[in-house]
A and B are shown apart, each in its own frame.
Chain A
Amino acid sequence: MASVSLSEAEKVYIVHGVQEDLRVDGRGCEDYRCVEVETDVVSNTSGSARVKLGHTDILVGVKAEMGTPKLEKPNEGYLEFFVDCSANATPEFEGRGGDDLGTEIANTLYRIFNNKSSVDLQALCISPREHCWVLYVDVLLLECGGNLFDAISIAVKAALFNTRIPRVRVLEDEEGSKDIELSDDPYDCIRLSVENVPCIVTLCKIGCRHVVDATLQEEACSLASVLVSVTSQGVVTCMRKVGKGSLDPESIFEMMETSKRVGKVLHASLHSILHKEESLGPKRQKVGFLG
């Protein structure tokens, strides 16, 4: 993870500030920085989204391709995650430096989607045991400004919301061989339901309290963090602890309660902004990367 070096005095200042619920930029312990979300930024994907959270900039692209279902789950499609930490984000990612972080994030994404209800995988099946849709979700880290996991999960949810998979029909002729027919209308497509897609809330323990959405400086003062993946109903799908420090079981319980509360608000805001963007229709002014 990209890190900054701080002096002891600076760390003490930050820790005391968190104690009094006043962080360096004036936020409280449970406040997020301003988030900017835009979908449909990459034209040659099935769905894409870009999320800016303070200095953290994430781009996610989803491509739907046809493949064969996995042997143990013949009636379902599946998702594949790949995370690229580009050297643009921070000089530490030059060469192979970003690979470790990339695999860590990809494994976390696999874990949080590894349950029956996050994404309706049966809707991705075309014909059992033979064809299914595989969604390749590619995450690109453009800039690293703290709180990567939250931003990435928001971007993945927004990109899945934006994904349009072409509608196909399976035609069987007399000899029994199957043919897949693509609909003529380019706008005839199926959308995924992202109601149950979880988002990650990262809680960093600083001193005796925990903060949401930590900046790079705050992450440098925290010895332990908990990543909780929460759905819009407040259901926790997975939890993971990172960092060298230890955590009290009571603080873990408090952090989980905080994450459920924060997660519900996060999902509600994301839901409303995605619907607002969609209601603007195809004529909305796209900002993209050159705005």
Chain B
Amino acid sequence: MAALGTARCLFRSYSRAKNVQKSKQMLARCTTRTLCSATQDNALSDGAKPQFTDPAVQDILTRITGLDLQKVFRPIKQELKPPTYKLMTDEQLQQAMESAKEEAKKLLQMPPVLPERKPINDVLSEDKILDGMDTAKYVFTDITYDIPHRERFIVVREPNGTLRKATWEERDRLIQTYFPKDKRKIVPPLIFKEENLKMVFSQDRHEDVLNMCLVQFEPDSSDYIRVHAATYEDLEKHGKYELLRSTRHFGGMTWYLVNARRVDGLIVDLLKRELLQDAVSLVSLFHMVHPHSESAQEAASQQATGTDLLKIYAQKESQRAGYIELALQAYEQIADKSSAA
């Protein structure tokens, strides 16, 4: 009983100590932004490594993607019906535009970026008594309607008697057989082969490829990641970022390039189209993801914002520093002229 009491006291004191420690850390974070940015504090505040699903990251990516209603709602080839005409007041038109923007935001929802799934190779039973009983594998699938596909049990009985869980490819095939999704094929279309991909990229149909990939593959499968990587590489090589702007894939592409530290082409493209704010947000995202890089440390030390961030990035990190600085100069000149006039 006494031991219990002491244990309880110790526990309470320990928790209090923990709380005190935490509050101390919080105070430290709030009061001083120390010069040595490579301390544990900063790493803790960033969450060790910003993920794709972080709200800050998502916010930046949605802002960079833009919202061009003309592109999002461009006419698609579908069953035609006669057009409808509505007579609206200005207010109703405003409301219609707002609802269109909401609809566009839903259409620009970014597909998930996940690490590659680990292969399944679990043996549930080894019944040697069944060895040689049959020449074919038997696959048993649980076809209960209401369970998510990731919780569905699919097992395979091999001819040598082993009962194992089905691999990811087998799972995808069987789930498509019993619960077919629209336009998803059991055998992936030949467009995802290397030669056909190259041919489609030469026709500038990257968005179509990515949409087909979303329909066909699961977000954590190796094929999905491979096709996305190939598409983003091709876009970066030719600088065709405009093809994906205002689509749901722009965020994914930006995230891939930021993680690969190859944002120069994208920044140059943004500056060419005079989207300075977007370039600044992109550089801040870069610093968020790579806090230990030179430009991130420099920016943190100088508390830079706006065009200064771009200048620091151009000096420290970029390979095309000249172009970025020229563009910044031109922008400043235009800004001065407009403020003067």
- Indicate, yes or no, whether A interacts with B: no
Residues of B at under 8 Å CB distance from A?
A: none
Residues of A at under 8 Å CB distance from B?
A: none
